[in-house]
Amino acid sequence: MNSNDYFASLLGDKPGNAPRNRTTVVTPNTIAKVRQEQAADAFVAERAKMQAAQDALKEELDAQREACESLAQDLTLLREEMASAQAAADAEKSALLARAEAAEADCVAVRTELESERAKPRVDVRILEEIAAKDREIARLKGLLADAQRTSLSSSVLMEKPPALGEKFPGEIREHVIGALADSRAAAEAGGRDRRARILEAVLCANPPSGELESRREAIRQILKDAGSFLDDGDIAALEKLGFRYISGKNHHKLEWAGIRFPVAKTPSDHRSCLNSATEIINRVF
């Protein structure tokens, strides 16, 4: 407002109304009072402005403080991650150093071994070939000796093998004869027939058994032991592979070996039936 309206308001007139006809005397005290009031209003306005600026500054400081705290937390996490990464790197470095040391030790060992091999006297290749040839000749002679021993009992030296008597496997007759000689030797020793026992001992030493009979006995025991109380198709196939012939019967199986037949239970029965059959087969056949 202008000065006239201001002073009119002091006298009780509203701004914009026609001034009353009066005489206004403006004294220095009035002017001073007006100026004082204006200064007070200006101070209040300035103070409100400063308060608003302080509030804005405080908000900005609070925001910066929160940002600093967040950065401090991030820095702490980053330091922890760096420390963990450093520890992992140190561990990896230690492992690499250990592997490198182990590899170096292996290289030293290999180098030492190579140097030791170089220091050894070299073997002439011709000598090695001669040794190998002699080993082959020894193996050949051993084979011939074994063949001679296997056929000695069927030769004209001791006896002749009947031509009409076939064999279920090569050397079957020889193995049975050797077994019979072994039994006779034991009987001669038990009966005090020393000369016969010595002759039979010499013959057995010159004609060692091949072990085929015992191998087949053990195979039959195992097959019938696994069979349990009756034979199935797999058990029969295993026995046929050994040389038996299967004959199907109404109530029993029949097995044949070189004309010797014996029944075997076809249906489940006593759990020892197959074991008993094994004992009978071994005694009658082998």
Which residues 6+ apart lie within 8 Å of 206 measured at CB?
A: 149, 152
Query: Please, what is the angle between helix 212-227 and helix 172-190, to 10°?
Result: 100
Q: How far apart are CA 75 and CA 246, in angstroms?
A: 89
pLDDT of residue 195: 92
Each residue of 106-157: pLDDT tens digit?
A: 888 888 887 877 776 666 678 878 888 888 888 877 777 666 655 554 444 4
pTM over 0.75: no
Q: Which residues of 179-194 are buried (b: 16+ CB within 10 A; e: fewer)?
A: eebeebbeebeeeeee
pLDDT in tens, 194-203: 999 999 898 8
Beta bridge partners, 257, equal 260
Domain ranges of the chain: 144-209, 211-286
- Chain mean position to CA 76: 43
CB atoms within 10 A of CB 216: 19
